[in-house]
Amino acid sequence: MLKFLANKLPNTGMNFAVWDWSKPELYGIVLGMLAKLDLSGTLGIRKSEMLDFIIDVEKGYCATSYHSFYHAVDVVAVLYYMLTDLGVQKYLTNLDCVALLIAGLCHDIGHVSKQIKMDVWENLIIMVTCYNRIIN
């Protein structure tokens, strides 16, 4: 997070390559993006609380090839780029901006497959497995 806040991370704009980072580094990058959008002032929470939330969100993602935590962070990076580099932020409130990034981070939690059709029973088993992983 500190390197992101100090603008010392390469390729965090449209050239962001999510697979080049470890999960702990991604936690820090997402937290840094939220911090730059005044997370603490907007939501009234500490950065440590948001970090806990980001880690919990990651636990909610199932092991799929596409709808994963990495995909979610990639979506957050594109949204952040649009807000900051493309100037969309000036048309939204701080709360809108933070909510948009949180929505991007959470949008595929529990998504179990990249396939549209999937056996209902298999889907149920995977969902229960993911749910148990989240609450434990």
pLDDT at 62: 76
Give tens-digit pLDDT for 24-34: 999 999 999 99
Give per-residue pLDDT as tens, 70-119.
999 999 999 999 999 899 999 999 999 999 999 999 988 877 665 545 55
3 vs 85 pLDDT, higher one: 85
* Distance, CA of 100 to CA of 79 (rounded, Å): 8
In CATH terms, the superfamily for domain 2-135 is: 3'5'-cyclic nucleotide phosphodiesterase, catalytic domain (1.10.1300.10)
- pLDDT for 104 equals 92
41-68 per-position pLDDT tens digit: 899 999 999 999 999 999 988 777 677 8
Element (H, E) at 5: helix 2-5
Torsion sign across C-alpha atoms 16, 20, 25, 26: positive
Domain borders along the chain are 2-135
* Residues of the chain above pLDDT 70, percent: 72
Asked if residue 23 has pLDDT above 90, the reply is yes
Q: Are 94 and 41 within 8 A, CB to CB?
A: yes
